[in-house]
Structure formats: structure tokens, C-alpha cells
Amino acid sequence: MTLPPRPAEVPGIPPGNVALVVNGGLMRGMRAHDRMLQAGAVFLREVTTAPRYRLWSIADRFPGMLHAPAGGAAIGAELYAVPRAGFAGIVESEPDGLCVGRVLLSDGTAPLGVLAEPRLVEGRTEITAHGGWRAYVLAQGIPQA
């Protein structure tokens, strides 16, 4: 069996840092963004995933994003450079059911990103049509402070 080629890495990430895509509470202006700042993460830019993902609201506290073999959409997110020393702290403080995996972006790169385990989204409200967590919380009036 031949494996598909590995997606391109994100250019411009400083040595000693990990490229990390976040799509929920860790984004700027959201309730858990201070964890990114405490870890020394540096915002690089807003990004959009390739149209291969679906998004759910987990009790309106945070989103759960899954890769969708079919019927996926592009999801808005943010890209950060995170010092390796702070990366583990970010991941360890994520809610149960969130994990880290490769997220394919619209530019063809595939940095690490926050994803959900399938069990987390069972019975939850799908919010893919909003195009991202920020748009969803604004539309629903969900406070983020």
C-alpha cells in the first residue's frame, strides 16, 4: 500500500515553534485565548480549512470539528506559532474529547490543529453552515468573556 504524499508544512514558522490551527475558544477574543498568550503563542493569520470538515457546538461552550469524508465545508480558524515548551500545556488543558491532528488548510498546508473525537459530537447541534465558531457565537449572542 502506498501512502499519499504528506501535505506541505507551513512556511515561516520560527525554529522551536509548532504551527497550530485553532477553531474555537483559543482564538483571539474568545474565552480561552489567554491560554495561548500564556504559552507564548504568536498569532500569524486567519485561515480557512480545505472544504473537508464539519463543525458542531458542544453545549455552546466550544466547537468540535471533524474531518468529513463527504459533505464537508471550509471552516474559519486562526494559525499560530506556538513555542514547543508551551504546546503541551495548551493541548493538556483542552476539554475531554478534543485532540490534535493534521488540519488541511485551503492553501494546501497541513499544520497541527484542534479536532474532536467523534463521540464528542454525538447528539450535538451541527453548526457547519455558519462557517466557523466566531460566526456562530456572534449569530447566537453567546458571550465569550
Strands 112-116 and 17-22: parallel
pTM value is 0.92
* CATH 3.30.70.20 for the 17-140 domain, yes or no: no
**Residue pLDDT, tens place only, 84-134:** 999 999 999 999 999 999 999 999 999 999 999 999 999 999 999 999 999
- Give the pLDDT score at 5: 55
Which of the pair, 130 or 1, is modelled with greater confidence?
130
Q: How far apart are CA 112 and CA 58, in angstroms?
A: 21
Residue ranges of the domains in the chain? 17-140
pLDDT class of 9 with cuts at 50, 70, 90: confident
